[in-house]
Amino acid sequence: MLLCLAAPISFAQPVNYWQQQVNYQINVALNTSFHTLQGEIDIEYTNNSPQTLNHIYMHLWPNGYKNRQTAFAKQQLENGKTDFYFANKTERGYIDSLAFSINGAAINWQYASIDGKLHYDIALLQLPQPLYPNQKITIKTPFFVKLPDVFSRLGHEDGIYCITQWYPKPAVFDKTGWHPMPYLDQGEFYSEFGDFKVNITVPANMRVAATGMLQNQDEFNWLVDLANGKKVNNPSQTNTKTLTYLQSNVHDFAWFASADFNVLYDTTRLRSGKEIQTWLFGKNINNNGIKYTQSGLVFYSDRAGEYPYDICTVVITPLKAGGGMEYPTITNCGSLDEQTIVHEVGHNWFYGILGSNERNYPWLDESINTFYENWHDEVIHKNNESTAYASAGAFGLNVNFDLKGINGSITSYMYSGRRRVDQPGNLHSTAYTDMNYGTVVYAKNPLALFYLKSYLGDSVFIGMMRSYYSQWKFKHPQPEDLINHCVAYTRDETVKDFFTSALADGRYDIVFKKKKNKLFVSNKLNGKGPIPVSLLIGDSLVNTTWIKNSTTDYINLNQYHSMPQNARLTVYQQSLPLELYPQNNQLLLKNKSTAAPVKLNLLFQKESATRTNVFFAPAYGYNLYNKHMAGVAIYNSIYPQKRNEFVILPMYSFNTNDINGYAQYWHNFYPTGKIHRIQLGFNAARFATNGLITNSLNAETQNNINQFGALYTGTSYEKFAPFITLHIKPKNLRSEIVQQLQARYVAINEYERNATYFNNLNNHIGVAEVSYLYNNPNVLYPSQFSAAFQQGLSTSTISRLGADFTQHILYKDGEKTASLRLFGGTFLSPQTPAGNTIGGNYYERAMFQGAGTTGVNDYLYDYAMIGRAENNPQANLWGRQTILRDAGFRSFVNIGSTDKMIFSANLTVPFPISLPIGFYADASYANLKSITNGNQVSYTNTFSYMAGFYISISKDVIGWYIPLVQSNNIENAFNMGGLSNIFERSSIIINLNRLNPIKAIRNINL
Ligand SMILES: [Zn+2]
């Protein structure tokens, strides 16, 4: 059942509804040498409101590109985009030469202050006389626009002119008052309906696409000939032509021009027989673009209401605000992608014809429109199974998801929903994080509408939306207008829940509870609305029962006596696609099992709704002691987040002939309030190392080990570290500041390597740690702070406190990042030697090194090291692998260590050239400790420094640091170690943690 043309109930027109009428006549000329517009505008403004107006707000949106202080400029930075911030004056844009007059008399005007902020892209026009209800005025002004480069929607690039949000335009005045709004990239618009007559003067060789109907027959014929591939004369660019466009019942006018556009043309016939001119403009285009436009026009006309205009145009442009942007009867798209074109064409309904306030209620246009776009995809392609695939690269995993249709929306919403960082679906557009604008407005909300459609059935849903359309077309429907309409149309109060919960802050995790022969279903989370329980045999849907009250309503299982083996009751994903954990809501009717069977997949696949996925991947590892290792990684989660997550990575070493590897497990809790996620779990590891056995050895013996690795040539370590991590919720989600508190206990067992595991457990080292992490990812000035306190509890006496702060600064148009790191540390109770031992050399390893830190000092085994006990830097490259911690010197050199006080600073300044090289400097001031033969301890305040240049081999992952100048104590230490030339003194820093593909993928941003 597709069409339901007549609404079964007739609706009264909205009571006392009114809207202003704003008609435009614009003359504009494009100058392609200076990339400017010169124009004059004549606005006929009719006050249909019952109020008398004394002023009018006028948008001057090209001024959004005027400087770094505009709302647009600020939002770009907040969303992590620095292009506009670093743009020079010639790349920016503005509108000026304004001289407003009303009914022929010049008036005063000023830039508007809204909520205490001055906006150069909003003007406040004082009316010389009050504008009474049902009266009209004429507002005129000349204007001049300097077109920016394309940073968002308006601008020019590669000879293509995108003339959008370009002319002075009154803000909407509706029942709640004025709606002035600055130009923004994230957050769209709200405008008054009216009639447009626009005369556009351009060089004669340009091909122009615009809102409305072209009035010049010669030009029309020329374009049709171009589209048909006929030989046409190409006029000289030194001549100009003036083209006239007319359109009524629209609230905006956009146009696009380029001498390089190719043109395609066809007509689209709607089911009613109505024909629509269908145009495609762009440099690289093909007939698919026309096909997708036609498909969208017919689909939306059938299911939302007939397209009322006579033309629909798609232009392919280099726009930078998402994949596409809608204007009345014309849309621009970044590519010929089918979904983008259908989506943008669809905006003619949800934005164009139903002119809601997009800035305040993005769900009324973006969400409903994306729902229709997904629905189109589903109907046209019948795609029920999305494919996701992974490809393994040398430096991590690249996972490509199929982000099409409803499956794409599910994938996208789960990303933020599972982590509980999603936001309600009915917020103001500027309240969303960059990510949630995608995962909520474009994913969660469309799923909520699929849920509603599934509840109502296609036929009722279509009838409801078509009658909403006929009632509200060419008007400004508000959220309550749509919601009231849907409830009245369906005569079902339940429908309200879909808007006030599913499309708001509702989350869904349906669980099945079987009590004897009754199956109860309920939502563990806060979402409201009826719960669908579907009977499936194999993969085919038999029927669906909607449970409205989960405490009293249930499914009687007696009716399913003689069901085949593969019959099950489940919450079908297509019926309630907002379900966050589909694995826990099914009942196999044969054995009454509610557990989802385990399914083993290679690498990574899209999570199955009916199986518990476990993934595996072959793994290879290497370090200097185990040498080559081969094994398999087994994990249950990469994306989206699960409540329980684990990774096991056992690897067989071909050198030590034993099993080594990692294991990780944690449970995610999502409390409400200040802490928004708690992880409770453990990390475990076992690998071979060299010479690092810390207990019952004296300091001198330890030196022997450190210098020559002679005492034990083969050792192993085992680590088990239970932890709890609290993720603190940012006050304002858009700030994206990360704060974490962690407590952990690290148990380390070091022993002489032989065939056994868990050797000498009684002598294990135990250290408790409390740490805090703050990360501000500000796009221009990112900074981090971290602090940690460690207290030895078993076979260790350390009580170590350290804190560091790093400030980064972007420069050279955002291409380079300089950073300064400051560090301070101390031991709360320094140990004095007793006899020849001072708490074992584990204590020595944990002391702050005066300069660089190597694997020996990684006493909690937190870093992935290829060589962790190579204290003789000449021995091989891996002896020069340095850890950026504590004093953070970029070269390892042994100048002593301290358990008293240390301060250090580390500066990194990339050269402002295209090569990845730069300058670095490290300095420390430390109370270095020395022990003489007679066990006398002394401390010396020592200032040390070194500076040189570095080559970044792989950004943030591998760097090579070459020292050029250093303090005398470092020079001496180098010489004592026999390191004479700068290459021997150089070090390599490898951030192996960055190469962990599982960690890398957990941090992906969609
Ligand atoms: Zn859109």
Q: Angle 565-569-575 (CA atoms, 0-180°, nearest 5)?
A: 135
C-alpha 261 – ligand 1 centre gap (Å): 24
C-alpha 270 – ligand 1 centre gap (Å): 23
Band of the pLDDT at 698, cuts 50, 70, 90? very low
Band of the pLDDT at 9, cuts 50, 70, 90? very low
C-alpha 251 – ligand 1 centre gap (Å): 16
C-alpha 889 – ligand 1 centre gap (Å): 50
**Between 831 and 135, whose confidence is greater?**
135
C-alpha 209 – ligand 1 centre gap (Å): 20
Both tokens assigned to 806: 């790093």
Both tokens assigned to 711: 């005492």
**Between 639 and 696, whose confidence is greater?**
639
- Residue 827 has a pLDDT of 94
C-alpha 370 – ligand 1 centre gap (Å): 7
Query: Which pLDDT tens digit goes with each residue over 293-336?
Result: 999 999 999 999 999 999 999 999 988 777 789 999 999 999 99
DSSP state of 557: G
Band of the pLDDT at 992, cuts 50, 70, 90? low
Pairwise CA distance, residues 296 & 887, whole Å = 62
- Residue 582 has a pLDDT of 86
C-alpha 369 – ligand 1 centre gap (Å): 7
C-alpha 750 – ligand 1 centre gap (Å): 59
The share of the chain scoring above pLDDT 90, in percent, equals 61
Helix or strand (DSSP H, E) at 209? strand 207-210
Both tokens assigned to 917: 């090289």
C-alpha 322 – ligand 1 centre gap (Å): 8
- Residue 183 has a pLDDT of 96
**Between 235 and 265, whose confidence is greater?**
265
Average pLDDT over residues 621-633: 90
Pairwise CA distance, residues 880 & 854, whole Å = 8
Query: Which pLDDT tens digit goes with each residue over 191-201?
Result: 999 999 999 99
- Residue 326 has a pLDDT of 92
Q: Which residues contact 808 (CB under 8 A, 6 or more apart)?
A: 781, 782, 783, 817, 818, 819
- Residue 702 has a pLDDT of 45
Band of the pLDDT at 937, cuts 50, 70, 90? confident
Band of the pLDDT at 349, cuts 50, 70, 90? very high
C-alpha 335 – ligand 1 centre gap (Å): 14
C-alpha 205 – ligand 1 centre gap (Å): 32
- Residue 876 has a pLDDT of 66
- Residue 402 has a pLDDT of 53
C-alpha 28 – ligand 1 centre gap (Å): 28
C-alpha 731 – ligand 1 centre gap (Å): 29
C-alpha 346 – ligand 1 centre gap (Å): 8
Band of the pLDDT at 606, cuts 50, 70, 90? low
- Residue 863 has a pLDDT of 85
**Between 371 and 656, whose confidence is greater?**
371
Q: Which residues contact 196 (CB under 8 A, 6 or more apart)?
A: 23, 24, 26, 211, 212, 245, 246, 247, 248, 250, 253
C-alpha 344 – ligand 1 centre gap (Å): 6
- Residue 807 has a pLDDT of 96
C-alpha 323 – ligand 1 centre gap (Å): 9
Both tokens assigned to 365: 């246009």
Contact 216, 244 (CB under 8 A): yes
Q: What are phi and psi of 452, to 5 degrees?
A: -65, -45
Contact 547, 533 (CB under 8 A): yes
C-alpha 409 – ligand 1 centre gap (Å): 14
C-alpha 500 – ligand 1 centre gap (Å): 22
- Residue 320 has a pLDDT of 78
- Residue 384 has a pLDDT of 45
User: How much is the mean pLDDT over the chain?
Assistant: 87
The CA-to-CA distance between both ends of the chain, in Å, stands at 37
C-alpha 252 – ligand 1 centre gap (Å): 16
C-alpha 315 – ligand 1 centre gap (Å): 15
Q: What are phi and psi of 980, to 5 degrees?
A: -100, -40
- Residue 352 has a pLDDT of 96
- Residue 696 has a pLDDT of 44
Band of the pLDDT at 383, cuts 50, 70, 90? low
Query: Which pLDDT tens digit goes with each residue over 451-484?
Result: 999 999 999 999 999 999 999 999 999 999 999 9
Band of the pLDDT at 22, cuts 50, 70, 90? very high
Q: Which of 215-219, 578-582, 769-773 has the lowest mean pLDDT?
A: 578-582
Burial of 408 (0-12, 13-18, 19+ CB in 10 A): buried
C-alpha 819 – ligand 1 centre gap (Å): 39
Pairwise CA distance, residues 324 & 552, whole Å = 48
Contact 667, 695 (CB under 8 A): no
**Between 907 and 865, whose confidence is greater?**
907
C-alpha 348 – ligand 1 centre gap (Å): 10
**Between 614 and 509, whose confidence is greater?**
509
- Residue 979 has a pLDDT of 82
C-alpha 226 – ligand 1 centre gap (Å): 30
Query: Which pLDDT tens digit goes with each residue over 50-98?
Result: 999 999 999 999 999 999 999 999 999 988 889 999 999 999 999 999 9
Query: Which pLDDT tens digit goes with each residue over 390-424?
Result: 333 222 333 444 567 888 888 889 888 998 889 99
Pairwise CA distance, residues 445 & 147, whole Å = 35
C-alpha 431 – ligand 1 centre gap (Å): 17
C-alpha 897 – ligand 1 centre gap (Å): 60
- Residue 705 has a pLDDT of 45
Q: Which of 394-408, 727-741, 890-904 has the lowest mean pLDDT?
A: 394-408
Residues in the chain, how many?
Answer: 1006
C-alpha 465 – ligand 1 centre gap (Å): 18
C-alpha 475 – ligand 1 centre gap (Å): 19
C-alpha 156 – ligand 1 centre gap (Å): 22
- Residue 295 has a pLDDT of 97
The one-letter code for the residue type at 604 is F
Pairwise CA distance, residues 720 & 87, whole Å = 51
C-alpha 439 – ligand 1 centre gap (Å): 13
C-alpha 459 – ligand 1 centre gap (Å): 25
Q: What are phi and psi of 194, to 5 degrees?
A: 180, -170
Average pLDDT over residues 982-995: 74
C-alpha 165 – ligand 1 centre gap (Å): 16
Burial of 996 (0-12, 13-18, 19+ CB in 10 A): middle
C-alpha 356 – ligand 1 centre gap (Å): 13
The share of the chain scoring above pLDDT 70, in percent, equals 89
Contact 805, 825 (CB under 8 A): no
Give the number of other Cβ atoms within 10 Å of residue 13's Cβ: 9
C-alpha 211 – ligand 1 centre gap (Å): 18
Give the number of other Cβ atoms within 10 Å of residue 225's Cβ: 15
- Residue 480 has a pLDDT of 95
Residue 581: C-alpha distances to residues 406, 502, 972 (Å): 16, 16, 62
